[in-house]
C-alpha cells in the first residue's frame, strides 16, 4: 500500500516544474506564437523535440534555434509547440518553427 501511495504522489507532482497544462493520466496540448513576420508565404518548417522517460530522464533539444536550423529557416514567421504526456512515463515536447 505504501508503494501505491508513493506512486500516486509521484504522478501528482510530475507537473510541478512544467509550464504546460498537464493531465494526470494523458495530455496532448499545442501552443502558438505568431511574430510580425507572419504576413508572407511560409515555405519551410523545422522541428526540435525533447523526450522524457519516467519523469526522471529527459533528452533532446527543443530550442527555437535548433528548430530553425533543422528547417533551414532564416526568417521565422510562426513558432508552435506541442506537448504529450502519458502517465508521466512518456513525455514529449516539440518546438515547430515555420518561415522562409
The mean pLDDT value for 38-64 works out to: 89
Count of domains forming the chain: 1
Range of the domain at 80: 2-99
Residue 89's alpha-carbon distances to 31, 83, 86, in angstroms, are: 22, 14, 6
Average pLDDT of the segment spanning 40-67: 92
Mean pLDDT of 11-30: 63
Q: 24: pLDDT confidence band, cut at 50, 70 and 90? A: confident
Question: What does each C-alpha distance from 99 to 48, 75, 93 come to in angstroms?
Answer: 15, 6, 20
pLDDT for res 38: 62
pTM for this predicted structure: 0.71
Predicted confidence band of residue 49 (pLDDT cuts 50, 70, 90):
very high
Amino acid at each position: 500500500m505504501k508503494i501505491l501511495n508513493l506512486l500516486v504522489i509521484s504522478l501528482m507532482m510530475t507537473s510541478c516544474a512544467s509550464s504546460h497544462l498537464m493531465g494526470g493520466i494523458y495530455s496532448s496540448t499545442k501552443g502558438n506564437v505568431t511574430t510580425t513576420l507572419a504576413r508572407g508565404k511560409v515555405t519551410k518548417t523545422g522541428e526540435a523535440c525533447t523526450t522524457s522517460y519516467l519523469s526522471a530522464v529527459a533528452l533532446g533539444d527543443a530550442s527555437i534555434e535548433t528548430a530553425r536550423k533543422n528547417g533551414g529557416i532564416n526568417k521565422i514567421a510562426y513558432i508552435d509547440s506541442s506537448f504529450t504526456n502519458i502517465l508521466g512515463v512518456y513525455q514529449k515536447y516539440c518546438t515547430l518553427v515555420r518561415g522562409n
